[in-house]
Amino acid sequence: MAYLLADGWVITMNARREILEQASLIIAGNKIAAIGTRQTLMAAYPEAEMIDCREAIIMPGMVNTHTHLFQTLLKGLGDDMVLKKWFTCMTGPSAVALTEEDVFAAALHGCVESIRSGVTSLVDFMYAHPRPGLTAKVIEAFQISGLRGHVCRGFLTTGREQGIPAALIESAETALADARKVIERYHHPEGRVKVGLAPSMIWALDEKVLRGTRQLADETGVLITTHVAETDFEIQQAQQRFQSSDTEFLSNIGFLGPDVLAVHCVQCSTRDIRALKHHDVRISHNPCSNLYLASGIPPIPAMLAAGLTVGLGSDGPASSNNHSLFQAMKTAALMQKGVHRDPTIMTAEKVLEMATIDGARAIGLDHQVGSLEIGKCADVVVVGTDHPAMTPIHHPVSSLVYSALGHEVTDVFIDGQPVMRNGEITTVNQREVLARSQRAAQSLAVRTGNDRYRAWRSSAF
């Protein structure tokens, strides 16, 4: 099947960052086959189904470099807490109670939500394993929804004295053995869905599992992602245990490399940034979550100045309350302008790069996705502009970053397949998906006796 996306703004994100007005694009099979005028492409591909984009922006599918899909069931339950309390009092206990049905319902909802907001590639950081089979349910949701991405098998191997529930703690041997099985069964290097490794955070990991992660990644070629320097608490724990920052420790044991996606990096020092650059580590910036949990403002301008690759992430919906990269883009730009009192320090063009081509580079997929170029995989998003918030348009990049509310996406193609057409998800029944996750979310909150859920149910606030 071929599709002609006709007469829109085409934001290519190619090396020249070309923006084409009243341009058209052909999707043939799973590739972008041609970019040009409607008349020329109609003549070359007369069988193509035409999609009128005269009041739309055609852009690369966005890349969400970090989330936790199971947290879709926890939206709103972690409000107004710092990270450690948020995890030990709400997220951890909820993770202990997860069933396969919970995880599948949450992941499928998160995949649908992501597609609707223009995300075509996503990195899921699945660290909750109170019972076997949960990672497989996340992978199943990717497969059914049509989303591209990495499902990263996470683990925690210590931290009980810091409030990590015992049911979430695994031995290094158990965690890595199961991760190897998941990789062997589900990881396809050239496939749409890949597997990765996700050692969780320094205060819940031992050196043995970190060294084992490095070895397993070297053997299998999979992505590693881990939380780095997210809060002052993490830095304090690293200093107590290793007499260094967590970044320095990971560097010293040979853990870091270009296949490592470091998430957050809020408390990174200048010395940490040098270490990250030395090892060509990639960064996932999660601005909404960092503000929601009051973790701080990461030194993203300094990282960019050092030449680091920085992508954007929504983080889990328990700490940002949705999967929207539109919100992440705007927040990423505004937070740096405000803290540095410099309106030029983070531009709309830069954060759009972070959400597309730089995000693809951060997870090793920039040769396949992240820009609209002939021969690349057809991960393409159409954003409608016939909305008061989006118009008038002078500069389409500015409109996407600063004006869009996130619900203007009308059509999404992933690997050439139409997973959303005319505002409707094509791969699953959205109404059933949302109803299923609502039931699972309420059941989980009741089973865990969540205090906030009970309070909201019994009062107006």
Annotate 350-389 with DSSP letters as a single string: HHHHHHTHHHHHHTT-TTTSSS--TTSB--EEEEE--STT
Domains and CATH numbers, the chain: 62-362 (3.20.20.140)
> Is-cis flag, bond preceding 392, omega within 30?
yes
- Contact (CB, 8 A) for 211 and 172: no
Tokens of residue 319, six digits: 């700490």
Query: CA–CA distance from 101 to each of 104, 193, 280 (Å)?
Result: 5, 20, 39
Q: How many helices (H) and strands (E) does the chain have?
A: 18, 17
- Contact (CB, 8 A) for 332 and 285: yes
**343: closest CA among 313, 377, 301, 388?**
301
Q: How many residues does the chain have?
A: 461
This prediction's pTM: 0.97
Dihedral sign of CA atoms 70, 430, 436, 100 in order: negative
- Contact (CB, 8 A) for 303 and 382: no
What is the spatial distance between Cα 246 and Cα 231, in angstroms, rounded to a whole number? Answer: 11
- Contact (CB, 8 A) for 129 and 178: yes
User: Is residue 204 helix, strand or coil?
Assistant: helix
DSSP 247: H
Annotate 407-445 with DSSP letters as a single string: --EEEEEETTEEEEETTEESSS-HHHHHHHHHHHHHHHH
What is the spatial distance between Cα 18 and Cα 43, in angstroms, rounded to a whole number? Answer: 24
Rg (CA), the chain: 21
What is the spatial distance between Cα 60 and Cα 371, in angstroms, rounded to a whole number? Answer: 5
CA atoms within 13 A on the CB side of 242: 20
- Contact (CB, 8 A) for 239 and 245: yes
Q: How many other C-beta atoms lie within 10 A of the C-beta of residue 34?
A: 18
Vertex 131 angle, CA 127 and 133, to 5° = 80
End-to-end, the C-alpha distance of the chain in Å comes to 52
What is the spatial distance between Cα 359 and Cα 282, in angstroms, rounded to a whole number? Answer: 9
What is the spatial distance between Cα 187 and Cα 176, in angstroms, rounded to a whole number? Answer: 15
Write out the chain's pLDDT in tens, 461 residues: 899 999 999 999 999 999 999 999 999 999 999 999 999 999 999 999 999 999 999 999 999 999 999 999 999 998 998 988 988 889 999 999 999 999 999 999 999 999 999 999 999 999 999 999 999 999 999 999 999 999 999 999 999 998 999 999 999 999 999 999 999 999 999 999 999 999 999 999 999 999 999 999 999 999 999 999 999 999 999 999 999 999 999 999 999 999 999 999 999 999 999 999 999 999 999 999 999 999 999 999 999 999 999 999 999 999 999 999 999 999 999 999 999 999 999 999 999 999 999 999 999 999 999 999 999 999 999 999 999 999 999 999 999 999 999 999 999 999 999 999 999 999 999 999 999 999 999 999 999 987 777 666 666 55
**333: closest CA among 354, 305, 306?**
354
Query: What single letter denotes the amino acid at residue 318?
Result: A
Tokens of residue 50, six digits: 């035409």
What is the spatial distance between Cα 4 and Cα 46, in angstroms, rounded to a whole number? Answer: 9
